[in-house]
Each structure stands twice: as C-alpha cells, then as structure tokens.
Amino acid sequence: MSHLGRPKSGPEDKFSLRHIVTELNKELDLSVKFAKDCIGIEATQLATSLNPGEVLLLENLRFHKEEEKGDKDFCRKIIKTRRHLCQ
C-alpha cells in the first residue's frame, strides 16, 4: 500500500497505482494482483486469497480524504485489510 501525489477531490487517474502494476510484475518477476481500493470488501477478499509469495498492490491511499486527516475509522479499515495481508 502507498500514497502518490495530492489528488484534489478523490480519485484521479494520473495518481492511480494501477499504472505501476506492469513494472512491478517485471521487477519482482511475479504476477502482482491489484485492488481498486485500499479498503473494503474487494481489497480484503484479494488479501485473504493470496498464496505465500504472491503480491497485492492496493490503490492509492490518497484517494480517501480521511488519509490526510488521520481519521481513526479510516485507520481501522486499513488495519483490517492489512491484517489479512500479513497473515
């Protein structure tokens, strides 16, 4: 998971992390999975379906205004997704 740029009002295509998936595939010599959000059902399901050695890239954290505000509920959602990534 990462953040990129300073999107003004939500998702902006030029700041999407999906643009780096192909390069990550080459650099890591793996098939990198991509979640269209950094929280939520899809991200959690993709995280729980990972096999050892697989990689999941989550979409840009900055697409959520709560990321810059230190929002506790947003933090809890990220932690929930991260727990699945770290198991």
- The per-residue pLDDT string of the chain (87 residues; one tens digit each, 9 = 90 and over) reads 888 888 887 788 999 999 999 999 999 998 899 999 998 889 989 988 988 888 999 999 889 888 877 788 888 888 877 665 555
Is residue 63 classed exposed, middle or buried when 0-12, 13-18 and 19+ CB atoms within 10 A define those classes? buried
State the pLDDT at residue 22.
94
Task: Name the domain count of the chain.
Answer: 1
Supply the CATH number for residue 80's domain: 3.40.50.1260
State the pLDDT at residue 9.
76
State the pLDDT at residue 25.
92
For 27, the domain range is 13-85
In a domain, 7, yes or no: no
In a domain, 76, yes or no: yes
State the pLDDT at residue 18.
95
Conformation bin of residue 30: beta by default, left when phi > 0, alpha when psi is -120 to 50: beta
